[in-house]
Amino acid sequence: MARRRDLLSLALAALAAPAFAQSPKPIRLIVPYPPGGPLDIVARALADKVKDSLGVVIVENKPGAGGNLGADLAAKAAPDGSTLVMGAVATHAINPWLYARIPYDPIRDFTPITGVAQVPNVLVMNPQAADRHGVKNVADLVAFAKKNPGLLNYGSGGNGSAGHLAGEMFKAQAGVFMVHIPYAGGNPAQLALLAGQVDLNFDNLASASANIKAGKLRALAVTTAKRAAAVPELPAIAESGGTLAGFDIHTWFGLFGPAGLPAEATQRLNKAFVDALGSNELKARLGTLMAEAMPTTPEQFGAFVRAELAKYEGVVKRSGARID
């Protein structure tokens, strides 16, 4: 009887050993911004959705240096699929030109996995200013600005912010001059617009939507190349044609691993996250943020990031924004 018990114990141990060895290592998903923001909200929703296919995904917030700190942690991690980062337009397209030095290369140091989402910005005016200047659409705005250089001003959340760079791109493509007034964050910039201290902003659609619906702000157009699903009635700036025909600037974020991530691991991660983005739960969560899913292949996402990096070089340099 004792011998049978020993044999049974050995058999159970033999069965348990492979199961333990095969249990996946938890994935560390770094969000390079504080908790509670859009990237953090979507990262946690994705982590919950992919647990059946990838195992445990632990979201870690590592804010600092405009996202550079968290991105660098992922860049320097082992390329074994256990560390990912939710990179964004700031970490991979703007910061390389905005900061005098960053500790990583946005292309060489990462393996693109998939785009996750894009969030439109919206060109909004103070209604009284719009009426005073006879501006009902983007074409009216451009015509007025050309006739009155420097008379219009626009606010933003600070030098180098998304709203600042959208304004600089608009000025360059439309061939107009407007005065930029930076504020200490997006909320103060919107309050200044509501109070009539500035004429217009290039604001985040989600944060501006309530005041647009209430008639406190007048939306002229979204900044994406095409109309946004959340507000299909609003034209895109690009629809104005002329030199603005190619206008396209928006906030985006996506998943990256360290450079050297094996192709098999990259494809496995891509499939799991793309499938999750197609789920009703993720679509609903993105909808609350007025964001649109942006699933891609790794190759498509890599090409997109390279194009965005090239685009923002000129935008940031024209803006004059610089962080030492």
Per-residue pLDDT of the chain (324 residues; tens, 9 = 90+): 445 544 444 444 444 433 333 336 899 999 999 999 999 999 999 999 999 999 999 999 999 999 999 999 999 999 999 999 999 999 999 999 999 999 999 999 999 999 999 999 999 999 999 999 999 999 999 999 999 999 999 999 999 999 999 999 999 999 999 999 999 999 999 999 999 999 999 999 999 999 999 999 999 999 999 999 999 999 999 999 999 999 999 999 999 999 999 999 999 999 999 999 999 999 999 999 999 999 999 999 999 999 999 999 999 999 999 998
| Residue 179, φ and ψ in degrees, nearest 5 | -85, 130
Gyration radius of the chain over CA positions: 23
Other C-beta atoms lying within 10 Å of the C-beta of residue 161: 22
Closest to 298 measured CA to CA, from 114, 116, 118: 114
Cα 114 from Cα 298, distance rounded (Å):
5
Report the amino acid identity of residue 116. V
The residue count for the chain: 324
Cα 204 from Cα 206, distance rounded (Å):
6
Q: Is 79:257 a contact under the CB 8 Å cutoff?
A: yes
Closest to 202 measured CA to CA, from 320, 264, 120, 80: 120
> Locate tokens 């700031």: which residue?
90
Cα 312 from Cα 316, distance rounded (Å):
6
Which pair of tokens denotes residue 272? 């799991």
Report the amino acid identity of residue 279. S
> Locate tokens 């348990």: which residue?
16
The runs of H, that is alpha helices, within 224-297 are: 263-277, 280-288
**End-to-end distance of the chain based on CA atoms, in angstroms?**
76
